[in-house]
Structure 1
Amino acid sequence: MRLRRALTSGLNRKQVADDPGVGLSTLNKWITAHRDTDVVSHEDLSLVQENDRLRRENRILKEEREILN
């Protein structure tokens, strides 16, 4: 559950690990161990990739807006 949340929620690893019961180093080990497995469905992976793309785009637009102001 926590591994899936770390991979799909858009939260950074520290935010996910801050929930009681798992440390950041443990979460990092889980992610590394399951990076190439089917823990996340193809559909979920596509959503994660799209979220990452949109976050980058949003960051760039914010930076451009700050430059223009």
Structure 2
Amino acid sequence: MYKACFVNIIGKPNAGKSSLLNDLMGEKLCIISPKAQTTRHRIKAFYTTDEVQIIFSDTPGLLDPK
């Protein structure tokens, strides 16, 4: 039986979301910078084996509108 799932990486700006995705995938897919809001658009990465597919989504940091 083949299984698939979606994983969204959500958090505050500069919380390490892009670094986490890069580490999980084992390669540099996302830009990393000390500047807040470097990730402006969602970045997707796919992890696939014979039994499972996981779609990761790196999102921009959540901001508190004022």
Q: Same fold, TM exceeding 0.5?
A: no
Query: Which protein has the larger Cα radius of gyration, Structure 1 or Structure 2?
Result: 1
Instruction: Give the TM-score normalised by the residue count of structure 1.
Output: 0.25
**Structure with greater strand share of residues:** 2
**Structure with greater helix share of residues:** 1
